Amino acid sequence: MHSGGGGSIGVAFAQAKSEGRALLIGYLPAGFPTLADSIELVQAMCEGGVDLVEVGLPYSDPLMDGPVIQQAVDQALTNGATPESVLTVVTAVAELGVVPVVMTYWNPIEQFGVENFARELQQAGGVGVITPDLTIEEGKPWISAAVAHNVDPIFLVAPSSTNERIDKICRQTKGFVYAASTMGVTGARDQVSNMAPELVARVRKCTDLPIAVGLGVSNGVQAAEIATYADGVIVGSAFVKAANAGGAKAVAELARELAKGVRHGR
């Protein structure tokens, strides 16, 4: 068994567990549609009941993201979003007493400077970074810098990962393990993959870290279903769609529905 550190991520998951429920994790890109709007949207998300916010770092070549998130990221970039925008949004989340982590492709961290990014994120109140396209082998310098600044490096496992691979990833991940429930790009789906429960069971054999499932969750019913076997439920595209449809009000409503879902799952 490998345990990860990560004060506030660990504390947030422990708090949810003590309440007999899964943790609700929401994603939105920083600077979408504008920086001021994105702060308002994450605040609405938190008020609605999201426990941990994944702040997306807008990047021009988001390979893993589906069309909904890609479009939001393009809009953010068009409106001038930068890595600094992410730090501003992270600070806003931390000030609400909600746990902020960053979701980013590797290239922007490399451009920003590995040490600089870890240090500035910690100063902004960020406690973790999810890097979907970084392998643990290529991630060694980042893992060292992150850990030195009390930032949890969070890696993904997928249904295609071998048990040996999952074990290696669990040794390097801190905070929580991100279990991608489907193959392919992100996006809300009508049905959440049946591969997710099996994947979570395989990850549990390797680690006592919390496991959060992402990719495809769009409503309270699906959130409740995942909450029966996972420690955290991750929602991204559905929040972007809500923001597009009805701004902060719609985002808060979706958060409330999902917050109910993660409580009914147990």
Q: How far is CA 3 from the centre of its chain?
A: 19
Tokens of 71: 């479009």
Instruction: Dihedral sign for Cα 58, 11, 179, 252, please.
Output: negative
Q: At what angle do helices 83-95 and 35-48 cross, to 10 degrees?
A: 30
Indicate the length of the chain as a whole number.
266
Name which of 129, 99, 93 is nearest 13 in CA terms.
Answer: 99
Instruction: Report whether 255 contacts 50 (CB < 8 A).
Output: yes
Mind telling me the catalytic residues? 54, 65
Q: Where are the alpha helices (DSSP H) in 125-236?
A: 140-148, 163-172, 195-204, 220-227
Rounded CA-CA distance 132/178 in Å is: 9
Instruction: Report whether 209 contacts 173 (CB < 8 A).
Output: yes
Query: Which residues are within 8 A (CB) of 163 and not within 5 positions of it... i.e. 6 or more apart?
Result: 202, 205, 206
Backbone angles phi, psi at 91, to 5 degrees: -60, -40
Peptide bond between residue 159 and the one before it cis (omega within 30 degrees of 0): no
Given the DSSP bridges, would you call strands 99-103 and 156-157 parallel, antiparallel or unpaired?
unpaired
Rounded CA-CA distance 250/155 in Å is: 30
